[in-house]
Structure 1
Amino acid sequence: MGLDKAQIKDLDTGTILTVCFNPKEYTFTKTAPWAEHNIHGLDAPKYEWTSGAAMRLNVELLFDAYELEGEKRDVRQWTDQLEVFQLVNPDLHRPPILLFWWGDKLQFKCVLRNMSLRFVMFEKDGTPVRAIAKCEFVEYSTPEEQLQAKPRHSPDHTKRRVVKEGDTLSWIAGKEYGNPAEWRIIAEANGIDDPLHLTVGRELLIPPLY
C-alpha cells in the first residue's frame, strides 16, 4: 500500500497541489473569545462569551526540485501555486476555499491566511530548487454548515420564512428578533450580498439569537 501524500485542493476550481514531502508535524490552535468585564469591588472580573473563533492549522512544507532535470528543476512550480491560493479569484471576488487533505485522518476545509516562503537552495543562475513554506490555514464553514453540524437549542428556534412582496431583511429581523438592526445575521446565514433586493418566494433560514 502506497504512502498517501498530503494535498491542497482548490474547491472552487478543482486544482490540486500535492506536496513533495509529507509534513513532520502540524499544529491545531483554537481560542475561546471571552470578554472580560471588571466589576468594582470584586477581586476577579466577570467573563462573557462573545463569539466563536475559527480553528487554525499551522504546518511547514518542504518543496524540493533538486533531483529533477531540465526545466522541471525549479521549485517555483509548487510555490507559485501556493501563492495563487491567496489571490483573489476575479469571478468570485475572493481567494479560493481550500481543502487540506492527508489520507482519511486529516480533511480540513479552510483558507490560506498566512504564508512565508524561504528559498534555501539555488542553481548557479539563481533558479530556486528548494523551498520551505510555513502556512497558516484557517477553518472555513458557512453558517448553514455550522448549524447543520452542531444544532443548538435556544428559546428562538432556527426556522424558515418565505419572502413576501415588500419584505426587507430589516423588517424580517424586526419581526423575528424584535430588532431590525439584526438583519445581518439573516443575510450571513443565507449568503445575501444585497439586503435591499430579496426574491419573492425565497425561503430564508432564520437562525436563533444566542
Structure 2
Amino acid sequence: MALGKIEKLKIIAFKNADYSDAPSEQETFTAMLNPETYSLDYKVEYQDGQGQGTSSSQQRFSVKKPEEFAFELLLDSSGIIDENPRESIEDDITELRDLLLKYEGEIHEPKHFQVLWGSLLFKGRCTGLNITIKLFNPDGKPIRALCKVTFSGSVEDNLRTAEERNESPDMTHYRLIKSGDTLPMLCYKIYGSSNYYLQVAKVNKLSSFRNISPGDEILFPPIKKNTPVA
C-alpha cells in the first residue's frame, strides 16, 4: 500500500486582519519536522460582583480570553534531517523571528497568521518566540535550535460581532455604573428603548431610578420586544 505524502506544518503570514491577502503577497514558513505535540489553552475570566440589596456575591462573566496555541519547531543545519548541511542556523532563526515578530511599517504592527497542519487551522497573532540552542559546531556556531512559538487566537471583526451579540436584549447584562450613566440611557443602549428604566430599577431594588452611583453593579434582565412598559 502506497504511503501518502507527509504534510508539513505551515505558518502563513498576512498583512490584512481578514486574511484576504493575495497568494503572491503571503509569506510562508514550512516546518522542517512536524511538532511532536501542540497545546491549546482556553480561559474565561469572571468578576466578583454584588448587586444592591443583596448580601452575597457571585462571579459574573467578564470576558472570554483568546485561546492560546503553542508548539515547538526544530531548526537544524547539520544535514542529518534534510541532507542539506549548512554552516549554521543563524539565517533560519532570523527568518523565523522576522516573519513572526517584525514590525511592518505598512500596517504599523506585526502580521496576522494562519497555522495549517492536516485538519488544523488556527488564526491569530504571534505573542511569543522562545529559542533554545541545542547544538553547536566546533567553532561555536549554532547548528540546532528548538523554537517554542505561541499564538493568541483572533476572529475577524464581522465574525466576532455575530458570535458575541454583546448588546442583545434577550441576554442578561451586568453593567458597572460610570460617571454620567443614567438608567434610561443604559436601557436605550441595551434594549433599544429607554422606556424600561423603571423595570430595571425595580429588579435592582432601587428606591429611585436616579439612585445609582459610579461603581454600582446593575442587572439588566432579558426582555422581549413586546414586553409592556409599566
State the TM-score, normalized to the length of structure 2.
0.61
Q: Is residue 13 of structure 2 the alignment partner of residue 7 of structure 1?
A: no
**Identical amino acids, percent of aligned pairs:** 19
The separation in 1 between residues aligned to 2:164 and 2:127, in whole angstroms, is 28
CA RMSD of aligned residues (A): 3.0
Is contact 1:17-1:78 (8 Å) kept?
A: no
CA offset digits 1:12-53 (Å, max 9, x no partner): 2411111111001011001011112368854xx411111221
The separation in 2 between residues aligned to 1:120 and 1:95, in whole angstroms, is 28
Deviation at 1:83, TM superposition (A): 1.2
The separation in 1 between residues aligned to 2:90 and 2:124, in whole angstroms, is 23
Deviation at 1:97, TM superposition (A): 0.3
Deviation at 1:177, TM superposition (A): 2.6
The separation in 1 between residues aligned to 2:135 and 2:43, in whole angstroms, is 37
4+ runs deviating over 6 angstroms: none
Give the aligned partner of residue 144 of structure 2.
130
Q: Is residue 73 of structure 2 the alignment partner of residue 61 of structure 1?
A: yes
State the TM-score, normalized to the length of structure 1.
0.66
Which of 1 and 2 has greater Rg? Answer: 2
Kindly report which structure 2 residues correspond to 1:18-167, keeping only aligned pairs within 5 A, or say none: 18-37=30-49, 42=56, 45-67=57-79, 72-84=86-98, 85-103=100-118, 105-148=119-162, 150=163, 152=165, 154-155=168-169
Deviation at 1:11, TM superposition (A): 1.6
- Structure 2 alignment gaps of length 5 or more: 16-24, 171-184, 191-221, 223-230
CA offset digits 1:151-200 (Å, max 9, x no partner): 748228xxxxxxxxxxxxxxxx99x738xxxxxxxxxxxxxxxxxxxxxx
